[in-house]
Structure formats: C-alpha cells, structure tokens
Amino acid sequence: MKRIAIIGSGSWGVALALILNRNGHSVKIWSFTEEEKNIINNEKKCKFLPQATIPDGIVCYNSYEEVIKDTDVIIVVTPSQVIRNTMNDIKELVTADQTIVIASKGIEAGTQKVYSRVLEEIFPNNKIAVLSGPSHAEEVAQFIPTCVVVSSKDEDTSYFLQDLFMNDIFRVYINNDIVGVELGGALKNIIALACGICIGLGYKDNTQAALITRGLLEISRLGKAYGAIHHDTFYGLTGFGDLFVTCASENSRNRRCGILIGQGHSVKEAQEMLDGMVAEGITASDAAYEIIHKYDVYAPIIEEMYKIIHEDKDPKKAVSDLMSRSKKLEF
C-alpha cells in the first residue's frame, strides 16, 4: 500500500482517487472549497461525478499540509493555469522522496512550457512524471475499461507508477517521450474545441473527420519542432486516442465549450456555462499559437482557433478561410 496525495477535487482527481483506492492505496484529496470537501467526506459524493460513491478510504481536506504530509506520491490535477502557483504554494511541504505526477493537461501560457518542465524548475530534486491518455473521468469513475500512458525521464519511476495505477479496468502503458505525451494531451483540446464549434455551426461528420485528421497532423508537426522524441507518440493513446475521445464524446468539456461558441455564445459565456468545469483548450490555444510562430510550424487550424478565441473571429469565417487556402499536397 502507498500513501497518495491528490491536489485537486474535480472529476479527474476523484476518478483517480477511486482507481487508487481500488488498488488498496490510502488516498487524501486537497480541495480548494469547503463545499467540495464536505460533499466528499460527509455525503460520499463528488459534485462533478453524481454517479460515483466515495469509499471510506478516501478523505478530503482544505489544508495542503494535511494532504501532503507522510505521502509517497503527489498527483497534480488542478486546472493547468494555476499549476505553477499551486506548486509554489506547496513547495516547502514537499520532500525529495515524494514522486510528483502531472495528471492535468495543458501548456503554460507565457512560457510555453509543458508542465513537467515547470515542475522540474520548482522541484529539481524530485522524480517527475506525467499521466495522460483517453480517459474521461465519468467513465473511469464507473470502472469502465480505460487505457492510459505514464511517462518519466526516470525509467524506474515509470515502472513504479505503472504498478501503482494499473488494475483490471485501468491499463497503463509506459512511453519515455514525456514531452510528446504532454503535448498530445494538451493540444488535442484545441482540436476538440474546433470540432465542437463545427457541430455548433451545424456541420456534420465529414467536417469533424477532416478536423481530427488534419488536426493530428498539426499536433505531430508542432510536437516534432518542440522536442518530442517519437513521432509514433502522436499516433498512440496520448495522441490519436485522446484526440478521438475528446472530439467525439459528449463528456468532453472542450467539445461542449466549442458547441456553445459555434451556436453564437462568446468564449467567456461558453466557459461560464460549463458549470464550474474548465475547457483547457482555451488556455492551450494561446501557448500553442506562440509555439507555432516561435518554431515556424505550419498549423492553420491552431492559428484559426487562436483567432476565434482571442481575437473574436467569426467561426464561419475561420472555416471559410481554412477551406479556401491555396492548394496543397496531403503530406
């Protein structure tokens, strides 16, 4: 049995807590709000996962110290835009023997860094890893078979985490391409927003298939320029797998947010209509836009998504501009 701290009481944090509890580990969750703590501890529920029941082995606190002390692994599941601030808040509580796992998906706006690199700055003496893949919390919490990927620069850490998480319904693969694994998980959210927008505009399967296929090509181009090790990473679970499920599923926050934008809501209105959940593709679009210009990567879908989100471009005009570009070879 290992002792686990989960920083973040949203749907994904609670779903991972349920998996780890199923494996016999002791789990403590940190929540930002007193309300969520009380729902988890007293009602044995999660406000974001109404079908889930929280077992007695999972306890929630509002104190970082209570959650982090005497634990072996710290799993970070906060919204990506607050990861750096949150990690700075807990820095003095973390000891060098604790493994830190990023389970949030995103790229830091401003620095354009994947979050493993952010954590390496803040915790230079700790083992850092990433957990990613096509894994909607709603299904994981119901113990529906799911496959994910863990990645770390330290091989022993990857095998340790594979053993920690893996069970009969949660299969864990290892991929040593930590940058590629993170980028796949972050960039697919932008394409899922685009798919949602097209649904909101009334476009059908042909348009979504084109976006998924060409979006995957843009993700792999950007990943190669940024420093991903393996081209195949983007055609595995954290690339195509996560892209497919996020673009196609009704559980996808990014898809849902995109649908609202396509239906005519502003980006701000669409985010507010997610009932407290976060569409990470909004933040990722900013960082991705900076990366494609820094490394001179041709990524027209990502470019148009940036303009829709940050420059209020009309989504129909963005689709028209994408379709009327100059003639190209497919590859």
Q: Count of CB atoms within 10 A of residue 281's CB?
A: 29
Neighbours of 39 (CB within 10 A): 19
DSSP-assigned beta bridge partners for residue 170: 146
Non-local (6+) Cβ contacts of 12 within 8 A are: 77, 103, 104, 135, 137
Determine the average pLDDT of the residues in 170-196: 96
What whole-number distance in Å separates Cα of residue 217 and Cα of residue 158? 27
The rounded mean pLDDT for the chain is 95
pLDDT band of 67, cuts 50, 70, 90: very high
pLDDT tens, residue by residue, 135-163: 999 999 999 999 999 999 999 999 999 99
Report the alpha-carbon distance of residue 231 to residue 307 in Å, rounded: 28
Residue 102 has which token pair? 């990023």
38, 234, 51: which is closest to 140 by C-alpha? 51
Question: For residues 115 and 106, is the Cβ–Cβ distance under 8 A?
Answer: yes
Q: Which residues contact 136 (CB under 8 A, 6 or more apart)?
A: 245, 249, 251, 252
Task: Decide if 206 contacts 181 (C-beta within 8 A).
Answer: no
DSSP letters along 26-94, please?
EEEEE-S-HHHHHIIIII--BTTBTT----TTEEEES-HHHHHTT-SEEEE-S-GGGHHHHHHHHGGG-
Nearest to 200 by CA among 269, 134, 135, 145: 269
Mean pLDDT over residues 297-301, rounded?
A: 97
Of the listed 28, 37, 188, 224, which one is catalytic?
188
d(CA 169, CA 20): 12
Residue range 186-323, CATH number:
1.10.1040.10
pTM above 0.75, yes or no: yes
Q: Would you state the pLDDT for residue 278?
A: 79
Q: Are strands 113-114 and 107-108 parallel, antiparallel or unpaired?
A: antiparallel
Task: List the one residue out of 31, 39, 33 whose CA is nearest residue 13.
Answer: 31
Q: Where are the domains positioned within the chain? A: 3-174, 186-323
Lowest mean per-residue pLDDT among 69-78, 144-153, 280-289: 280-289
With beta carbons less than 8 A apart as the criterion, state whether 80 and 106 touch.
Answer: yes
CA 21/CA 284 separation, integer angstroms: 31
Q: What SS3 state is found at 108?
A: strand
Q: Which stretch, 19-28, 44-53, 250-259, has highest mean pLDDT?
A: 19-28
Domains 3-174 and 186-323 share a fold: no
Q: How do 170-174 and 128-132 pair as beta strands?
A: unpaired
CA distance 251 to 245: 9
What is the structure's pLDDT at 251?
85
pLDDT > 80? residue 276: no
Tokens of 11: 């749907």
Judge contact between 99 and 25, C-beta under 8 A: no
Residue 212 Cα to chain centre, angstroms: 17
Q: Token pair 């002792």 is at which residue?
A: 3
Q: What is the pLDDT at residue 248?
A: 92
Please give the Cα distance from 185 to 241 (Å, whole number).
10
What's the whole-number mean pLDDT along residues 160-171?
98
Q: What is the pLDDT of residue 186?
A: 92
Is-catalytic flag, 28?
no
How many whole angstroms separate alpha carbon 37 and alpha carbon 45? Answer: 10
CATH number of 3-174: 3.40.50.720
Q: In this structure, how many other beta carbons lie within 10 angstroms of the beta carbon of residue 222?
A: 21
Looking at residue 228, what DSSP letter applies? Answer: -
End-to-end CA distance of the chain: 49
